[in-house]
Structure 1
Amino acid sequence: MKKGKHLTTALLAACLSTSALAQSPDNYGSGLKLDLNQDGTKFVRFIMWHQFWTTYTQNNPGTKDVNGDPQSSTMDIGIRRSRFLAYSQISPRFLILTHWGINNVSFINGGGAGTLGTGASATGQGGKRPQLYIHDAWSEYAVVKGKLHIGTGLHYWNGVSRLSSASTLNFMTMDAPIFNWYNIEATDQFARQFGIYAKGQVGRLDYRVSVNKPYVYGVSPTKANIKPDGIAVNAFTEKAAFSGYFDWAFKDKENNILPYFVGTYLGKKEVLNIGAGFYTQANATASARVSGADTLIDKHTQTCIGVDFFWDKPLNKAKGTALSIYSVYYNYNFGPNYLRNIGILNLHANTVAPTESFAGAGNLQPTIGTGSIWYTQVGYKFPNMKNGSSFMPYVTTTYKDFNRLAASSFQYDLGLNYFVSGHNAKITLQYTNRPIYKLNSSNGTIDRDGSKGEFVIQTHIFL
């Protein structure tokens, strides 16, 4: 009986502790924590979350449905993220973390290999039985506690910008703009690479640097594999990559025990930071060109640079109002005319003539490439209501100027967060505008051809 009583008491204490910690939008202060000793210096913490999307998409020109018929719009319900994270400190000098889950699963894609049933034959894997995989797996040692920590593994201590290491638990917007993850699903695994990192805080300076071994992706840089059109593509290489991000805290300092930057603190603290970062890898891409009677292969160094500003300010703490502003400028160089088209939870993979839609079918759009991007998001949190819930409307703007496209583009998102219980339970409605491009067959340029839109409702819960 005594053992059962002690176990019940311990579980109740853990639940009460979790309830208090869950009020903080900081990842480190959230989740179920189990203390392994009396003073709590040895512990295991668990975090789990789901994000479901219900979407209505205006499809790109030339999009077809599963039967091959023209389809101007699509409705879908899918899993954007379903994750589980656990980490432990058995000593203040050691930390181990494992993070796994699934992403981007719909009725037609994201499923496990070999899945049988409707949608699994003509459309690839289908959407059934998605395979869990590791997102993060690293261990860390404190050389000088708080000032210098060194870790190794499959990690998320990214360079370039704050948004490149964004937490998916507490975005101010519904989601990230994707181009913040400059290698997404190319030479990384969902924004992670194998590497050795160092991080810490020295005064008001917060830093993270790493040496990584990117995944091999693309083609072997030979004449047989690359068209002599002067367009850079990802190429096989074993070169290491180097990255770093540094920011200065003018107001409240942030917790950097974990790499995940908070999107908004919802008026809990005032953070005013300016940061800058980089990522570089030699021979990451290659292009081919004709020189006389020969074809020459040129290898290119990938260099990504970012400069950003983050201001998250409580306006009236008694009422709970707050202002959140984030702005970042990216300069990306992947080699001449490099461009990637990406669409989140894109349901359509049919071939589209570039004269109809250069990006392709569904919701694909030019997302990452050689050129520059300026992204800004602004949100205002309304006063808390009697039940503790609140609303936060927001707007984002994106200016892209890619070398390969004849014209730059401006696009925007309009959104509304309903915080049922802070970031732990929220519903977000967002309208997303994206540019459409098509190939001009007369002169070979890729010209702007209007815009399409997408409505998304996201339900988000994490514990």
Structure 2
Amino acid sequence: MKKLLIIFSFTVMQCMYGQDTVSIKKSPEEVSSGKNPLDVGELKINLNAKGDKWLKFGISSQIWLRSIDNNPGTLVNGVPQEQTYDASIRRMRLIIQSQVTPFYSVFLQMGINNQSFISGGGTGTGNNGAGKKAPFFFHDAYNEFAIIPRNDFQTGKPNKNNLYLGAGLHSWNGVSRLTNASTTKMLAGDIPVFNFPMIEIADQFSRQLGIFVHGELDRINYRFSVNKPFATSLKPAIGGAAVDNNQSGKLSYAGYAFYQFFNKETTVTSFLPGNNLATKKILNLGAGFYTNKEATQSQPSENVFESHDVNIVGADVYTELPVGDKSKEMGLTLYSVFYNYNYGPNYLRISGLLNPGTPNADFMGQKALEGAGNNRVLMGTGNIWFSQMGFVLPKFSKILKVQPFFNYALKDMKALNQSGSYYDIGANFYLYGQNARIVAQYSSRPLYDLTSKTIFDRKGEFLLSFQIVL
């Protein structure tokens, strides 16, 4: 922990006092537009003089350093450990977006996720070193058609309403703003993951295959989709909880819409930011859903199987408010969402991000329901209320902005006998706008007793995240 804090302090000092060592140039057009001249411009190639045919590239990288308090009875690489230090690639992405004509475009996102010293590897794992050669795969791959474009093709003037139709592997999700979250403009060190109701179960990293529509009706921003979920076929235990089994092959349906009271947001891609450093006044109220018939299965008695529908709804509010003197560039960001999940009787999902641990069969102490490493109760049939807040401190540097933040989640799962509180507290250190960010964050999670299903302990995790977005 001390080593991580020393590294972090040194990096921030370099950013504060090494201001004359970095120079980012902008075009005259970008400077005159009123944008922050320290922000890095787009990686964009215009394919015609008018600029309505183009090819755009995006690159992002998130590197994590962590100190993890492991759950009781944890082995790391076969050795019992109460605390683990690790380094990892949380995300590394390449985006290619093309508007071939004013009428249609192509969106591709590729990359890797969750590679650490022990996990996330493809080939090259085993005795020669675990975790090596993480798989590189497509996250998004879809085509999109402009039915009613944002701007009139002839005059170039904005349309009051717009409508787009697309198909492919996509993340135009339902339920909530956070279910459509941008991973490059997050408020905290990461998104809470339970915001993706089928993550890595019936979807591929929060994406499903299907068709979607999105657009605006004046101040209402909307998205709806019909998808074919990825196949699941888990077999339930006799008298046990529902498990993921969608062998009947039903389609899923999802939607989300929000009303924009003040400044409107442009949704060229599916990803909604959770943090714009409160540069504009925003207040949005939203609601959404996800439904998939016969998506889970239970076995009440031997060889008697029951299928259950998955139904998830969410309602949320998002606001960004500039505060005080404009020259100080202060601002408040608030987000709150309520989820109701129904996956079937006593459904419970447990997971840990980049979990380094495995269970120790010889451990004789009190075991956690969550298992080993940094596993936690992620979600299940029940309710979750999640809120976060951030505040940009008064401007004191041309290079650096500081934004403390706080997250809180209250999980009330039907399979457990006690509600659990989860929280994160930390600060963002932004360099040159939102193109470079360092995050320092401490997280606390409860642990449930394996038998009583009540909380008996808490564990923590310290994170340093280094993020670059171009």
Do both proteins adopt the same fold according to a TM-score greater than 0.5, normalized to the shorter chain? Answer: yes
Q: Is the 8 A contact 2:72 2:366 kept in 1?
A: no
Kindly provide the amino acid, as one letter, of the partner of residue 421 in structure 1. Y
Match for residue 112 of structure 1?
Answer: 122
Q: Which residue of 2 aligns with 1:10?
A: none
Q: Shift of the alpha carbon at 1:17?
A: 8.1
- Identical positions, percent: 39
- Give CA-to-partner distance per residue, 1:95-140, whole Å, 9 cap, x none: 1110000000001111113546533xxxxxx211111100000010
| Structure 2 counterpart of 1:319 | 328
- CA deviation string 1:391-441 (max 9, x = no partner): 00011111000000111111211010001122200100000111101222x
Could you tell me which amino acid in structure 1 is paired with residue 128 of structure 2? T
TM-aligned CA distance change 1:412 to 1:23, over 3 Å: farther
What is residue 246 of structure 2 aligned with on the other side?
236
Cα pair distance change 1:241/1:64, threshold 3 Å: same
- Give 2:356's match in structure 1, choosing from 343, 347, 350: 347
- The secondary structure found in structure 2 opposite 1:406 is coil
- On the 8 A contact 1:168/1:175 being kept in 2, the answer is yes
In 2, the alpha carbon distance for the partners of 1:407 and 1:190 equals: 30
Separation in 2 of the partners of 1:47 and 1:207? Answer: 25
| Aligned 1:43-442 pairs, distance under 5 A | 43-67=54-78, 69-115=79-125, 117-119=127-129, 126-146=130-150, 147-219=162-234, 225-237=235-247, 238-290=249-301, 295-315=303-323, 316-350=325-359, 356-440=367-451
Q: Tell me how far 1:324 sits from its aligned partner.
A: 0.1
Q: In the alignment, is the contact (CA less than 8 A) between 1:30 and 1:47 conserved in 2?
A: no
Shift of 1:268: 2.1
The TM-score normalised by the length of structure 1 is 0.89
CA contact (8 A) 1:415 1:429 kept: yes
- Contact 1:400/1:408, CA 8 A, preserved across alignment: yes
8 Å CA contact retained: 2:208, 2:227: yes
- CA-to-aligned-CA distance 1:322-370 (integer Å, 9 cap, x gap): 1000000000000000011110011112356895011110000010100
What SS does the corresponding residue of 2:358 show, helix, strand or coil? Answer: coil
CA deviation map 1:127-179 (0-9, x unaligned) = 11111100000010011123211000000100000000100111011110110
Distance between the aligned counterparts of 2:30 and 2:131, measured in 1? 35
Deviation of residue 64 (structure 1)? 1.4
Q: Residue type of the partner of 1:46?
A: F
Alpha-carbon deviation of 1:23?
A: 5.7
- Contact map agreement 2:322 2:329 (CA 8 A) in 1: yes
Any gaps of 5 or more consecutive residues in structure 2? 1-24, 151-161
Q: Distance in 2 between matches of 1:303 and 1:200?
A: 24
Shift of 1:19: 7.2
Measured against aligned partners, the alpha-carbon deviations of 1:71-112 in whole angstroms (never above 9, x if no partner) come to 111000100000000101122221111000000000111111
Contact 1:18 1:32 in 2 (8 A): no
TM score, norm. by length of structure 2: 0.87
**Amino acid in the other structure paired with 1:328:** V
* Secondary structure in 2 matching 1:435: strand
**Residue aligned with 1:164, SS:** helix
Cα distance in structure 2, aligned partners of 1:375 and 1:83: 27
**Contact 1:22–1:30 at 8 Å: present in 2 too?**
no
Distance in 2 (CA, whole Å) between partners of 1:22 and 1:297 is 62
Q: Decide whether aligned partners of structure 1 residues 419 and 182 sit closer, same or farther in structure 2, where only a CA change above 3 A counts.
A: same
Once the two structures are superposed, residues 204-229 of structure 1 have per-residue CA deviations (whole angstroms, 9 ceiling, x without a partner) of: 0000000000101232xxxxx32112
Matching of residue 16 in structure 1 with residue 33 in structure 2: no
SS at match of 1:345: coil
After superposition, the Cα gap between the structure-2 partners of 1:127 and 1:23, relative to the gap in structure 1 and judged at 3 Å, is farther
Which digits, 9 at most, give the CA deviation of each residue in 1:261-311, with x for residues without a partner? 011111321110000000000111000112xxx542110000110000000
Task: Write the distance in 2 (CA, Å) between the matches of 1:64 and 1:448.
Answer: 22
Q: Equivalents in 1 of 2:106, 2:49: separation in Å?
A: 20
Give SS of 1:40's match: coil
Distance 1:41 1:399 in 2: 46
Match of 1:462 in 2: 469
| Cα distance change, pair 31–438 in 1 and its aligned pair in 2 (3 A) | farther
Which letter maps to 2:460? Answer: G
Distance 1:17 1:84 in 2: 27
C-alpha separation in 1, matches of 2:119 and 2:184? 24
Partner-residue secondary structure (3-state), 1:439: coil
Q: Which moved more, 1:174-183 or 1:259-268?
A: 259-268
- Aligned-residue RMSD, C-alpha: 2.1
Instruction: Please give the alpha-carbon distance, in whole angstroms, between the structure 1 residues aligned to 2:464 and 2:30.
Output: 27
> Matched residue of 1:375: which SS?
strand
CA contact (8 A) 1:22 1:424 kept: no
Partner SS for 2:179: helix
Contact 1:22 1:31 in 2 (8 A): no
Question: 1:313 Cα shift?
Answer: 1.1
Looking at structure 2, the residues matched to 93 and 423 of structure 1 have their Cα atoms a distance apart, in angstroms, of 31
* CA 23–98 in structure 1, closer or farther in 2 if over 3 Å, else same: farther
Report if aligned partners of 1:135, 1:189 keep a CA contact under 8 Å in 2.
yes
User: Is residue 23–residue 422 contact of structure 1 (8 Å, CA) maintained in 2?
Assistant: no
Distance 1:19 1:462, change over 3 A: farther
Alpha-carbon distance in structure 2 between the residues aligned to 1:148 and 1:387: 40
